[in-house]
Amino acid sequence: MAKSKRRPIWQATETLSWDLWMAASAIGLTFFGLVMVYSASAAAKNPSHHLLTQGGAALIGIAILATLRRVDYHFYARPVVVYGFLLLCILMLASVFLFSARQGAHRWIILPGFSLQPSEPAKLAMVIFLSWFLALRESEKQLEDFWATIAPAGVVLGILSSLILLEPDLGTTAMLCLITVTMLWIAGSPLRSLLLAAPVLAVGLVIMILIKPYRLKRIYAFISPEMDPLGAGYNIQQALTAIGSGGVNGLGLGQSRQKRNLLPEPESDFIFPVIGEELGFIGGSCLILVFAFFLWRGLRTAWRAPDTVGRLMAVGLTTWIGAQAFLNLSVALKLLPTKGITLPFISAGGSSLIAVLTAVGILLNISASGSETRNQQAEAG
């Protein structure tokens, strides 16, 4: 149904209404993130290091966002782009092993001046691939066919996630699986076909735990962090202490005490505890509500999307950003076991921020197309 509507890649017209609210919340979160990253890294040896890289990434990201909101999203839904992007990501993911490890993990392509985390664009590539592929299968009425739909999607997911798992990066792998399953389900794959894939995932998880026993420790730590506050449960205990000691009003911006070498990675995975400690329940809940608001605008975009590609793409991107945010918050609040997942827009990490802002750029274009469709429908009616 969508194919007939192909338009020029570059939409010159400004008459289309786009989702200003979504753009505002995304950019607002980005700037808030800059402030918090600076505050969280204040106790570090080089306090402005993270602020500068994050600021640079924010500028690039916003420029990309502003550009992509004018690029028709159908541009991505063609085999050349999809496979090219996928191939690029696989190559980059493979090449991380050529570079030296940081904190025991090969996650970065380290170039002079900056470094790149290919698992971030990989998430974007996966969403684009799936929305194109699933829309194609839907038009061929083969969505319910396990071998035609779920198996090929699983292969692509398998390639990407096994590379990421090897880094190792369990958090991003989990995100990738979550995005895939959600998109398959939304596209209309029968639940029982999806359930067939569950044992495969379970076996994979068990193997992962067997390879790296510290993961089991993390799960124990999740169950009772108080048992051993300086051992495996240390991180989560420090995070809860930070959030809890913030109280309703917080200690004030910049006043976090837990960020002083008590919280691990206070500017990245555990930035929410710093926010909770400094800005209290008021600041923390406001942040969560802004994420919820962004999520709502994303789902609204999917709802109003003019075609299946747009809808799936919007669902995939929204799920990625929303679920990642909720996962990060759930870990910080000890609702889920500890794993390295960053808070989109906020956590320090240039690749992540640029990838997320790129996603928002695409979402904005879909939302504008949705409005256009409605306008056209209104005119027709």
Partner 1 sequence: MHRRLKLLAMILFTWLIIILWRLTWVQVVQHDYYAALARKVQVDITRQLPVRGTIVDRDNHYLAYTLPLNSVYVDPKLFRKTMADRLRKSYEKLKREGKTSQTFEQYSEQTISDALRELAPLLGQSEADLRLTLSANESFVWLKRKMEPDAARRVKDVIEKYNLHGIEIRDEAERNYPNQELAAHLIGYVGLSNKGVSPGGLDTCYGVAGIEKQFDNFLQGKPGETEQSQDGRGDVYERRVLPPMDGAKIKLTIDSALQRKVEMLLAQAVREHRAKGASAVVMDPRTGEILAMANAPTFDPNRIGGDVSRNSAYLNQAVMLPYEPGSIFKVVTFAAAFEEGLITPDEMIDCGNGQITVGGRVIRDTHSYGRLTIEDAFAKSSNVGAIRIAQRLGRERFHRYIINFGFGAPTKIELPGEQAGVVHPAARWRPDSIGSVAIGQEVSVTLVQAVASIAAIANKGVLVSPHLVSEITTAVKGDVLYKPTIESRRVVSERTAELMTRILQRVVTDGTGRHAVQLSGYTAAGKTGTPQKSFGSAGYLPGRYMPSFLGFVPASEPRYAIVVMVDEPAAGSYYGGVVAAPIFARLAEAALGGADIAPDDPKYRQLVQSLQEKLSARPTEMDLSDGDEVMGGGQPEASGAMAPISYSLPAAAKGGEQVAPSVGTKPGRVEAGSRMPDLRGRGMRAVTTICSGLQLKAKIFGSGVAVRQSPAAGAMVSPGGECRVWLEQD
The binding site for partner 1 (CB under 8 A) comprises: 43, 182, 185-188, 238, 240-248, 257-258, 260-262, 276, 280-281, 284-285, 288, 292, 295-296, 299, 302-303, 308, 311, 315, 319, 322-323, 326, 329-330, 333-335
Provide the minimum distance between the beta carbon of 246 and partner 1 in the complex, in angstroms, as a whole number: 6
**Between 167 and 278, CB nearer to partner 1:** 278
Provide the minimum distance between the beta carbon of 286 and partner 1 in the complex, in angstroms, as a whole number: 11
Beta bridge partners of 114: 111
Calculate the alpha carbon distances from 46 to 105, 259, 347 in Å: 22, 14, 17
Q: Which amino acid is it at 68?
A: L
200 torsion bin: left (phi>0), alpha (psi -120 to 50), beta (else): alpha
Provide the minimum distance between the beta carbon of 83 and partner 1 in the complex, in angstroms, as a whole number: 25
**Between 85 and 326, CB nearer to partner 1:** 326
Provide the minimum distance between the beta carbon of 59 and partner 1 in the complex, in angstroms, as a whole number: 30
3-state secondary structure of 116: strand
**Between 215 and 257, CB nearer to partner 1:** 257
Provide the minimum distance between the beta carbon of 50 and partner 1 in the complex, in angstroms, as a whole number: 18
Pairing of strands 114-116, 109-111: antiparallel
Q: How far apart are the first and last CA of the chain?
A: 19
Transcribe 279-345 into DSSP letters: HHHHHHHHHHHHHHHHHHHHHHHHHH-SSHHHHHHHHHHHHHHHHHHHHHHHHHTTSS-------TT
CB 352 within 8 A of CB 120: yes
**Between 106 and 334, CB nearer to partner 1:** 334
User: Which among 196, 171, 129 has a CA at the least distance from the CA of 323?
Assistant: 171
**Between 118 and 250, CB nearer to partner 1:** 250
Provide the minimum distance between the beta carbon of 133 and partner 1 in the complex, in angstroms, as a whole number: 16
Provide the minimum distance between the beta carbon of 241 and partner 1 in the complex, in angstroms, as a whole number: 5
**Between 51 and 279, CB nearer to partner 1:** 279
Query: What are the start-end ranges of the H helices in the chain?
Result: 20-40, 49-68, 79-95, 119-139, 151-166, 170-187, 191-211, 214-223, 234-246, 271-304, 308-332, 350-380
Provide the minimum distance between the beta carbon of 250 and partner 1 in the complex, in angstroms, as a whole number: 9
User: Which among 322, 299, 359 has a CA at the least distance from the CA of 62?
Assistant: 359
**Between 123 and 334, CB nearer to partner 1:** 334
**Between 161 and 238, CB nearer to partner 1:** 238
